[in-house]
Structure 1
Amino acid sequence: MSGDIASMSFEEALAELERIVKGLEGGQLKLEDAITAYERGAALREHCESKLRAAEARVQAIVQRADGALDTKKIAD
C-alpha cells in the first residue's frame, strides 16, 4: 500500500487524501473500512508533507548572483 504512495505526485496524493477525508466525514463507512482509510490518509499526509519539504528546500536553494541572475546552490540531503 505505501509503495504505491511513494510513487505518487503531490497532486495525486492530495486528491486521494481529500477523497478519504470526505468519505470519513460522511460517516457511511464501516468501522474497519474507516480505520483502513484513516491509516492510508495518514500515510498520504506524510507523503504530501515530505514532498512539500523537498519543494521548499529547492525554492530556498535559489540564490541571486552578483550580476542579478538567478542560480541554485547545492543543498545537503
Structure 2
Amino acid sequence: MSEKPVEEMSFEEAMRALEEVVRQLESGEVELEKSIELYERGAKLKKRCEEKLREAEEKIEAITLDETGTPKGTTPVEGL
C-alpha cells in the first residue's frame, strides 16, 4: 500500500490505491484493526478521486466555444 499522502495523489494514483484497498478488504484475510485502517484510507481515497473529477469537470465546463463551435480558450475557474 502506498504511503504517499492522499492529498498529494493524482486521480490515477488515488484510483490505483483505492483498488488495492478494496482488493485487500474483499480478500477477508485482513485483521479487524487493519480492516478499519484500510476502510478509513479508502474513504479518503474516494474523496480525493471525487475532488479530482470535480476539478476536471469544472475545467471542461469552463472551455468557451466560438460561433463555429471551436474552442477559443478557457475561462478561469475560481479556486483552481
Instruction: Identify whether the pair has TM-score above 0.5, normalized to the shorter chain.
Output: yes
TM-score by length of 2: 0.85
Structure 1: how far apart are the matches of 2:18 and 2:29? 17
Percent of aligned pairs with the same amino acid:
43
Deviation at 1:44, TM superposition (A): 0.4
User: What secondary structure does 1:63 align onto?
Assistant: strand
> Cα deviations across residues 36-63 of structure 1 (Å, max 9, x unaligned)?
0000000000000000000000001111
Detail structure 1 runs of 4+ shifted over 4 Å in the superposition: none
Aligned residues: 76
Deviation at 1:75, TM superposition (A): 2.1
Aligned alpha-carbon RMSD (Å): 1.7
Stretches of structure 1 lacking an aligned partner (at least 5 in a row): none
Which has more helix, going by share of residues?
A: 1
1:59-74 paired onto structure 2 within 5 Å: 59-66=60-67, 68-70=69-71, 71-74=73-76
Structure 1: how far apart are the matches of 2:69 and 2:31? 59
Q: Which amino acid aligns with 2:76?
A: K
